[in-house]
């Protein structure tokens, strides 16, 4: 059974580096090298890697346009970045042998790299970033008055609804973070249990399921960010 908190590896000054932080560094290296590779080698007739990236981005852009309409150009970079970060963070936990390289601290074995989404700090900060981005985009598009009039009006029916919607924003943070954390962490525990039960053929369906769940959860995070940004930037109709 894996521990809920990330395992500490070593200390740099007062900061303890845990193994999900090293996974975050790996995700950053992967994303930046992918972006740099596309930047250096992009041609008019696309090669293999460029064709895949273009296909993914075009599919998502069409989906963003069908959800968001004319504000798709502003919303799309946020949603796509969330998608790539969460996707790579989920999938690096599934690389073969990745949990076998580690260090022994006394009796316990701590792997060097552990999937970043199994750390509640990561998912919680992603949810907070998503919410802050949504609200600041809403303030920028609607103006401060329009933004506040979404929640606080003088109409007797709309005022309790507005306050309830304000509380709903906090529930969104919890829901975002716990959905991603729960899916990936429970998947990791299932994988550990399946591997310790019978290590040869039993983990294969669990691995397929985890692969799929990683992709679906990343897509849902991006889709929800997109949907909330669209809702928050539309003017309230009377």
Compute the least distance from the CB of residue 213 to another protein, in Å: 8
* Residue owning tokens 């990745």: 98
- How would DSSP label each residue in 52-63? HHHHHHHHHHHH
Shortest CA distance to 149 belongs to which of 75, 138, 128? 138
Residues 2-21 that bind another protein (CB under 8 A): 4
Residue 115 DSSP label? -
Our CB check for another protein shows the closer of 28 and 62 to be 62
Shortest CA distance to 96 belongs to which of 116, 74, 77, 111? 111
3-state secondary structure of 201: coil
Residues 200-219 that bind another protein (CB under 8 A): 216-217, 219
The pair of structure tokens assigned to 18 is 């845990």
Residues 161-200 that bind another protein (CB under 8 A): 175, 178-179, 181-183, 185-186, 189
Verify binding: residue 231, another protein, rule CB under 8 A.
Answer: no
Listed in order, strand segments (DSSP E) in 58-147 are: 102-105, 108-111
Shortest CA distance to 90 belongs to which of 182, 166, 157, 167? 182
Verify binding: residue 223, another protein, rule CB under 8 A.
Answer: yes
Count of residues that bind another protein according to CB under 8 A: 16
Compute the least distance from the CB of residue 1 to another protein, in Å: 8
Our CB check for another protein shows the closer of 207 and 223 to be 223
Q: Tell which one of 1, 44, 101, 157 touches another protein (CB under 8 A).
A: 1
Our CB check for another protein shows the closer of 16 and 175 to be 175
Binding site for another protein (CB under 8 A): 1, 4, 175, 178-179, 181-183, 185-186, 189, 216-217, 219-220, 223
């Amino acid at each position: 059974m894996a521990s809920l908190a990330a395992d500490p590896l070593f200390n740099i000054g007062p900061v303890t580096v845990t193994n999900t932080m090293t996974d975050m560094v790996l995700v950053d290296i992967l994303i930046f090298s992918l972006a740099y590779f596309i930047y250096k080698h992009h041609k008019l007739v696309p090669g293999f890697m460029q064709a895949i990236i273009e296909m993914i981005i075009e599919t998502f852009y069409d989906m963003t346009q069908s959800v968001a309409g004319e504000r798709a150009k502003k919303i799309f970079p946020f949603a796509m970045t969330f998608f790539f970060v969460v996707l790579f963070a989920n999938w690096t936990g599934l690389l073969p042998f990745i949990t076998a390289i580690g260090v022994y601290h006394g009796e316990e074995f701590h792997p060097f790299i552990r999937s970043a989404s199994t750390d509640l700090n990561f998912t919680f900060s992603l949810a907070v970033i998503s919410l802050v981005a949504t609200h600041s985009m809403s303030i920028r598009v609607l103006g401060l008055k329009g933004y506040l009039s979404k929640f606080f009006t003088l109409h007797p029916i709309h005022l309790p609804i507005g306050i309830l919607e304000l509380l709903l924003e906090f529930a969104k943070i919890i829901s975002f973070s716990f959905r991603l954390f729960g899916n990936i962490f429970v998947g990791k525990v299932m994988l550990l249990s399946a591997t310790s039960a019978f290590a040869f053929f039993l983990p294969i369906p669990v691995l397929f399921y985890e692969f799929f769940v990683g992709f679906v959860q990343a897509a849902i995070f991006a889709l929800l960010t997109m949907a909330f940004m669209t809702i928050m930037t539309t003017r309230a109709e009377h």
